């Protein structure tokens, strides 16, 4: 079931007061749920030597949330300079940060290697000679190409712009050795929102095969394998949840087998985003209009500026009408925002109980790739973020964007140049 019963039970009684105080729309995240997921992840993977989760910052780049994750022992997976700065701002440094970028500029590498450094995850063989200095540790992102199939969101590895190809991977590490790098890891990220745990075990096995290969050919003893993120969550009530314990057990067996054979074993890194925070956030929005033309529309005060996933991937997000859960559903409706794009729809042909203006709609599972994917197209401003804290209080953890924010990039000294 999307949105946990426990979150719903704590949020529902106070939701009208939260709406009255803060106004809609907003995302609200559940500290209890996030902490529980962190604890589960840690306990399930603790038996694995050298396990570390690097939270994918892009999923929920809010320092208040990141602080909670950091206290749980998580590091951060960053792919831009602002994401690095966010992670460092809350005290992460060095091995707590992984920089997994693509089509990276020298300026980005300089930032990544400065300020206490981080683990560099290189996306191409050519980048090793472009680094501003020789790092202690080098990791390459491996793209198996036709060796594996990807999935809907991330696409087939052959068509993906990410990573080092199978044919280049040995040469990439060879080059790193020649440049004096002494410590190594290997990374891959193949699937997104994948709910089949066996896929993740296969990914770990695939990396262990490469590790064995490179041990034989180059004598490298890898410090870690990083299997990426992509663990799925049940967005639809019909979806089965991801079996985290089975995944951990499967990978543990593979690592133990590896250790028996080689008498050493690389650590296991993961960089989940969605699985950690996705189910622990909802977007709360008010019904402001109804419209009946060829279809019935429910107009709300949020738009795809607050949540792109339905418009971008056709993603399903469960929706419930606050206080009307017990009522029978009526004819299907499209739940829409105000943006001048026909894909500005949170739900399409969805059976919902009959709504009135002022009703509160709760859009589930917006805790990852929700607010962070928002944009300002059409002059729409991103909403605020709140956190339902463990003690039951509600904290504003990001204010809504204002007109002043929208105009901020137009505020500069005049600059006109003539080139002819």
CA angle 346, 347, 348 (to 5 degrees): 135
Task: Tell me whether residue 104 or residue 285 sits nearer to ligand PLP (CB atom).
Answer: 104
How far apart are CB 202 and ligand PLP at their closest, in Å? 17
Which residues here bind ligand PLP, judged by CB under 6 A?
56, 58-59, 77, 100, 189, 192-193, 228-231, 271-275, 368
Task: Tell me whether residue 299 or residue 310 sits nearer to ligand PLP (CB atom).
Answer: 310
SS3 assignment for 151-182: ECCCECHHHCCCCEEHHHHHHHHHHHHHCCCC
User: How far from chain centre, in Å, is Cα 300?
Assistant: 26
How far apart are CB 55 and ligand PLP at their closest, in Å? 9
Task: Tell me whether residue 286 or residue 372 sits nearer to ligand PLP (CB atom).
Answer: 372
Q: Which residue has the tokens 């049940």?
A: 234
How far apart are CB 323 and ligand PLP at their closest, in Å? 32
Task: Tell me whether residue 79 or residue 355 sits nearer to ligand PLP (CB atom).
Answer: 79
**What is the rounded CA–CA span in Å between residue 234 and residue 383?**
25
Evaluate the CA torsion angle 101, 102, 105, 106 in order and state its sign.
positive
| DSSP helix/strand/coil, 104 | coil
How far apart are CB 322 and ligand PLP at their closest, in Å? 27
How far apart are CB 392 and ligand PLP at their closest, in Å? 28
Task: Tell me whether residue 8 or residue 101 sits nearer to ligand PLP (CB atom).
Answer: 101
Task: Tell me whether residue 31 or residue 53 sits nearer to ligand PLP (CB atom).
Answer: 53
- List, in sequence order, every residue forming a beta bridge with 197; answer none if it has no partner: none
How far apart are CB 103 and ligand PLP at their closest, in Å? 13
Alpha helices by DSSP H, listed for 72-141, are: 81-89, 106-113
Task: Tell me whether residue 139 or residue 283 sits nearer to ligand PLP (CB atom).
Answer: 139
- Provide the b/e sequence for 212-230 (b: ≥16 CB within 10 Å): eebeeeeebebbbbbbbbb
How far apart are CB 303 and ligand PLP at their closest, in Å? 23
How far apart are CB 77 and ligand PLP at their closest, in Å? 5
Task: Tell me whether residue 225 or residue 352 sits nearer to ligand PLP (CB atom).
Answer: 225
How far apart are CB 247 and ligand PLP at their closest, in Å? 13
- Phi/psi of residue 116, each to 5°? 90, -5
Task: Tell me whether residue 278 or residue 383 sits nearer to ligand PLP (CB atom).
Answer: 278
- Provide the b/e sequence for 390-420 (b: ≥16 CB within 10 Å): eeeebeebbebbeeeeeeeeeeeeeeeeeee
Q: For residue 62, give the nearest of 420, 359, 368 by alpha carbon.
A: 368
Query: How do beta strands 137-143 and 281-292 pair?
Result: unpaired
Structure tokens at 8: 């719903």
């Amino acid at each position: 079931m999307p949105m946990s019963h426990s979150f719903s039970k704590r949020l529902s009684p106070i939701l009208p007061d939260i709406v009255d105080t803060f106004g809609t729309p907003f995302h609200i995240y559940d500290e209890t749920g996030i902490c529980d997921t962190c604890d589960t992840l840690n306990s399930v993977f603790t038996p694995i030597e050298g396990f570390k989760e690097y939270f994918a910052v892009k999923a929920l780049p809010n320092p208040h949330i990141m602080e909670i994750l950091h206290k749980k022992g998580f590091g951060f997976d960053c792919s831009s300079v602002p994401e690095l700065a966010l992670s460092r701002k809350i005290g992460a440094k060095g091995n707590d940060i992984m920089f997994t970028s693509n089509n990276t500029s020298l300026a980005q590498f300089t930032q990544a290697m400065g300020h206490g450094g981080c683990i560099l995850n290189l996306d191409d063989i050519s980048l090793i000679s472009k680094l501003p200095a020789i790092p202690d540790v080098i990791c390459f992102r491996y793209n198996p190409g036709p060796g594996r199939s990807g999935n809907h969101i991330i696409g087939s590895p052959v068509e993906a712009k990410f990573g080092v190809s199978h044919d280049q991977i040995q040469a990439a590490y060879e080059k790193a050795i020649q440049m004096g790098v002494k410590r190594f890891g290997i990374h891959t990220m193949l699937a997104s929102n994948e709910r089949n745990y066996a896929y993740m075990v296969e990914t770990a096995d695939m990396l262990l095969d490469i590790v064995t290969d490179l041990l034989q050919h180059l004598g490298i003893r890898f410090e870690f394998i990083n299997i990426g993120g992509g663990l799925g969550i049940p967005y639809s009530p019909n979806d089965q949840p991801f079996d985290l314990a089975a995944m951990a057990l499967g990978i543990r067996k593979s690592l133990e087998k590896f250790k028996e054979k080689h008498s050493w074993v690389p650590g296991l890194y993961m960089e989940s985003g969605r699985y950690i925070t996705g189910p622990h956030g909802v977007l709360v929005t008010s019904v402001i209009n109804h419209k009946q033309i060829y279809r019935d529309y429910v107009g709300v005060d949020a738009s795809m500026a607050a949540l792109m996933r339905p418009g971008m991937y056709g993603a399903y997000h469960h929706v419930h009408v606050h206080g009307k859960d017990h009522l029978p559903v009526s004819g299907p409706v499209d739940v829409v925002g105000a943006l001048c794009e026909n894909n500005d729809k949170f739900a399409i042909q969805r059976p919902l109980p009959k709504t009135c203006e002022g009703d509160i709609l709760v859009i589930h599972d917006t805790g990852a790739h929700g607010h962070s994917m928002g944009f300002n197209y059409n002059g729409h401003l991103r909403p605020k973020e709140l956190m339902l804290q463990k003690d039951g209080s509600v904290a504003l953890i990001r204010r809504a964007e204002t007109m002043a924010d929208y105009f901020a990039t137009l505020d500069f000294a005049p600059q006109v140049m003539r080139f002819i």
